[in-house]
Amino acid sequence: MAFNRRTLVGLAALVAAAAPALKAAARPAGQTADQTSDQTAPLAPPDPTEEFRLWPGGAPGGEKVTVVGAVTERSTDPAYHDRFAQFTTDPILSVVRPEHPNGSALLLIPGGGYRWSVVDKEGLDCARVFAAAGVTCYVLRYRLPADGWAAGPDAPLQDAQRALRMIRARVDQDGVDPKRVGVLGASAGGHLAGLLTVRKDTTYAAIDEIDKQSHRPDLTILMYPVATMADPFVHAGSRQHLLGAAPSAEMIAAWSLEQMDWTGAPPTFLLHAIDDQSVPVENSLQLLAAIRKANVPTEAHLFQEGGHGFGIRLIQGKPAAAWPELALAWARRHAWAA
């Protein structure tokens, strides 16, 4: 996509609206607040006050689960959070509401290699930028497949399906169009978002009226996704935590997004950095070929630099920083965002 004045103005407005969440990102990596010339260095934005439990009676299949949930902070800079959640037993949706909602909704599924789920970098940080553009955002904290759940590798997908249904069940309260509910997944969260997009089967027994809603998104955005479970391009950690140390060839094929049938999937947007050393760009390239073969409307953006897991904060000042506006412009062409 060529950068014209309209694109650049739109991106500038989007980032300016999300400035409270992004102001600290301009500080060089490793520099702390007391090393800046600004004596009133910003603090990290407050967490959302709205959270919803996915499973009021407890998540399914937890009879043998003994882990205890924990959230760990990695940031030493008060200007931003960098947390990850492990051993989640009570999955939640955190709601980031726009000041001027446009009727679209986005379920955000952060990554973490199926070992944990990051909270901020690919969750709340991204949600604040999309909320600044009018999108009502819901960040998912999901269960992990190796924690003893009866569903095994399906446990995270159970949470994602339930979350999508819950968003649609709340459309009247939240001012959301039930036909404009999208999903954004990053890294291993991109694999989970891809499963949510392409798999038609329901992975759990219905428990209430919410489960009468569709669990498939109307639009999909995949950031540097873990797509394949097959060598040589697999992210080995994601495969091990999802499928175990020695999965069969049949299991590898069954969980590789590029080997699934994408017929009838919603419009799908891909973005990846070519210099990604953790999840090779071939994950997106192979997936793009499968999506195109299924005649699904798609767009892909490959950036020369950016590495892996860049989210919003880690690419300020680089070309890849344009990705939210590129994704929103594409979504508008598909009548998803205003």
pLDDT band for position 14 (50/70/90)? Answer: low
Higher pLDDT, residue 33 or 328: 328
- In this structure, the number of other CB atoms found within 10 A of the CB of residue 33 comes to 18
Domains annotated on the chain, with CATH: 46-333 (3.40.50.1820)
Q: What's the Cα-to-Cα distance from 191 to each of 62, 88, 111, 303, rounded to whole Å?
A: 23, 18, 9, 20
Which ranges in 58-201 belong to alpha helices (H)?
Answer: 125-132, 155-169, 171-174, 188-198
Please give the pLDDT value at position 25.
Answer: 40
- In this structure, the number of other CB atoms found within 10 A of the CB of residue 293 comes to 12
Residues 6+ apart with CB under 8 A from 287: 194, 222, 225, 227, 228, 257, 258, 270
- pTM reported for the whole predicted model: 0.88
Please give the pLDDT value at position 337.
Answer: 82
Are the beta carbons of 267 and 219 closer than 8 angstroms?
yes
**Residue 313 amino acid letter:** R
pLDDT tens readout for residues 72-129 = 999 999 999 999 999 999 999 999 999 999 999 999 999 999 999 999 999 999 999 9
- In this structure, the number of other CB atoms found within 10 A of the CB of residue 231 comes to 9
Are the beta carbons of 224 and 271 closer than 8 angstroms?
yes
Please give the pLDDT value at position 42.
Answer: 80
Helix (H, G, I), strand (E, B) or coil at 182: strand
pLDDT > 80? residue 2: no
What is the CA angle 141-144-149, rounded to 5?
Answer: 120
pLDDT tens readout for residues 187-235 = 999 999 999 999 999 999 999 999 999 999 999 999 999 999 999 999 9
